Amino acid sequence: MEIVLVEPEIPGNTGNIVRLCAANHMTLHLVKPLGFSIEDKYLKRAGLDYWHLVDIRIHENLQEVFDAYPDRTFYFTSSKAKHVHSDVQYKMGDMLVFGKETKGLPEELLKAHEETSIRIPMKEEARCLNLSNAVAIVSYEAMRQLGYPDLKKIK
């Protein structure tokens, strides 16, 4: 499972996602432009001392990610998608794509990938969830389906 953040804006959210990826052995892809410096103190603080545990890859644009992983399935998250995140059958290597905090993913991208666009159910009046919370919800559902691969087992 790999996480793709398209133009993330808030360092604390990305730092939290770094920590999530470290704890769950996930690669994190950051698509430019970023709304912060990777050296940002708030980003570092939120990621705590987990940075060395994460494979972070930075891309100039989303097309670069598509070109680098042509055989992968990309799931695009949006509060407007018709498919619920827990109804999807995930497989190893899937790419979970999340948009920037203020605007989400571009509408044309979601329309072009309607069958692999997913949402987290919530009240109609709610606009969206916090980015790091959404990444945690979707990624843990995917890992649950896969039997929590590569994670510590308590005996």
- 3-class secondary structure, 116: helix
Beta strands in 87-127 (DSSP E): 95-98, 117-119
Is 120 annotated as a binding-site member? Answer: yes
- Residue 27 CA to residue 94 CA, distance in Å, equals 11
151 to 68, 71, 78, 140: CA distances (angstroms):
26, 25, 28, 12
Which residue ranges make up the annotated binding site for S-adenosyl-L-methionine?
A: 99, 120
Which residue ranges make up the annotated binding site?
A: 99, 120
